[in-house]
Amino acid sequence: MAYLTLRGINKIYPNGFHAVHDFNMEIEKGEFIVFVGSSGCGKSTTLRMIAGLENISKGDFYIDGERVNDKGPRERGVAMVFQSYALYPHMTVYDNLAFGLTLQGVDDDVIEKRVQSTAAILGLTPYLERFPRELSGGQRQRVAVGRAIIRKVNIFLMDEPLSNLDAKQRVTMRSEITQIHRETGATTIYVTHDQTEAMTMADRIVVMKEGYIQQIGTPYDLYFNPVNMFVAGFIGEPPMNFAEAVLKNGKLELGENVIDLKPVADKAVLDEYEGKEVVFGFRPEAVKVGFAADADSYRIRCMADLVELLGDNTNVYVNYDGINSILKVDPHDSPEIDSAFEFAIPYGSVYLFDKQTEKRIKLRKD
């Protein structure tokens, strides 16, 4: 059995709302797992059931082989960091860090050592005598993380810990948390609605929607092999482009542009979907403009409606016969606004989905 096992976990709140449906997952010791999804999809509820802060309505939760459904947070050996820092305002950073250990009756000299080493990991050594009000948001969040790691627990749970920080601080703390994870080796479950945080921090990501797991996989898996349109659209920024079409003779008509799928898909797959509505997908960053396109790619003529220069790349909003897409291109290759131009989608960057079920259609049966 894995280190953490969630088997058929459900949450039905007292008002009857079914917030989490049949959550199944195994987590290995030391993994960094991120639960991601839009607000209200059940991430926090699942985390709180793991923490022991919310009872499990149905299903079994095991830590290291032991069923712990009926155990409280302390007995489970978890530490949790929340979105709000909840520091004690009248205590110094030192005392905020030391507080939990003091309550446990740990010796003062042990506390001193642990506070110093935790402060060193988090870069808080110069601030130990300060009060929370004398710290920046990022520093306060570090103290909150410090209070959790000082307890030397095996399992860390974090619920949107960076959402009160500004964009720059978030990027810094992101890498710091990853670093702390490397140093402590604690199994970590991290909740966020931000796909960039999920992609950059996770060993494995769990994508959730409306209380259901959509997919569990490495960042690489989710980006390149999404199981459905939701995951394909959620992971990646800007999101994957979609265009609906009916498959006719193995081809899709996107306005005047024709996508012949025969070179990229098995005949059996095309036969199965012949005459059916499908959704064609490609990522904004997969396209080529200018002279870089190779022969094995689809060419699409379009108009540039809007051009956003972001520095390292440019987002070009295009339309072709009423279909809207976003292309992420090198600023030097960017077309002029209101100009007609051609872009290319390499054969290997094409996705297809069943319009009815929104599931991915594998182009090759292997």
43 versus 204: smaller Cβ distance to ligand ADP: 43
Q: Does 40 bind ligand ADP (CB under 6 A)?
A: yes
- In 3D, which of 74, 99, 84, 81 has the Cα closest to residue 176? 81
H-assigned helices in 28-150: 43-51, 73-76, 93-103, 108-122, 137-149
Q: How far apart are the first and last CA of the chain?
A: 30
- Chosen residue from 43, 140, 181, 360 binding ligand ADP by CB under 6 A: 43
Q: Does 41 bind ligand ADP (CB under 6 A)?
A: yes
Cβ-in-10-Å burial (0-12, 13-18, 19+) of 200 comes to: middle
Q: Does 192 bind ligand ADP (CB under 6 A)?
A: no
Measured N-to-C along each axis, helices 137-149 and 167-184 cross at an angle, to the nearest 10 degrees, of 20
H-assigned helices in 254-325: 267-273
Q: Does 44 bind ligand ADP (CB under 6 A)?
A: yes
Q: Measured between alpha carbons, how far is residue 334 from residues 12, 188, 269, 330, 339 in Å?
A: 51, 42, 36, 6, 11
Q: Does 154 bind ligand ADP (CB under 6 A)?
A: no
139 versus 188: smaller Cβ distance to ligand ADP: 188
13 versus 88: smaller Cβ distance to ligand ADP: 13
Return the DSSP state at 126. G
Q: How far is the CB of 80 from ligand ADP (least distance, A)?
A: 14
Q: Kindly indicate which of the ranges 43-51, 103-111, 113-121, 230-238 contains the residues binding ligand ADP, using the contact rule CB under 6 A.
A: 43-51
Q: Does 13 bind ligand ADP (CB under 6 A)?
A: yes
Measured N-to-C along each axis, helices 137-149 and 108-122 cross at an angle, to the nearest 10 degrees, of 130
Q: Does 15 bind ligand ADP (CB under 6 A)?
A: yes
Distance CA 186, CA 157 (A): 10
Q: Does 84 bind ligand ADP (CB under 6 A)?
A: no
Q: Does 239 bind ligand ADP (CB under 6 A)?
A: no
- Chosen residue from 42, 132, 138, 146 binding ligand ADP by CB under 6 A: 42
Q: How far is the CB of 94 from ligand ADP (least distance, A)?
A: 33
Q: Kindly indicate which of the ranges 42-50, 70-78, 131-139, 255-263 contains the residues binding ligand ADP, using the contact rule CB under 6 A.
A: 42-50
Q: Kindly indicate which of the ranges 9-17, 56-64, 300-308, 328-336 contains the residues binding ligand ADP, using the contact rule CB under 6 A.
A: 9-17
Q: Kindly indicate which of the ranges 10-18, 70-78, 194-202, 346-354 contains the residues binding ligand ADP, using the contact rule CB under 6 A.
A: 10-18
36 versus 143: smaller Cβ distance to ligand ADP: 36
How many residues touch ligand ADP (CB under 6 A)? Answer: 12
Write the single-letter amino acid at 191.
V
Q: How far is the CB of 52 from ligand ADP (least distance, A)?
A: 15
Sheet holding 212-217, edge to edge: 78-81, 155-159, 187-192, 32-36, 204-209, 212-217
156 versus 282: smaller Cβ distance to ligand ADP: 156
Integer-rounded Cα Rg, in Å, for the chain is 25
Q: Which of residues 18-37 bind ligand ADP (CB under 6 A)?
A: 19, 37
14 versus 275: smaller Cβ distance to ligand ADP: 14
Can you give the binding site for ligand ADP, defined by CB under 6 A? 13, 15, 17, 19, 37, 39-45
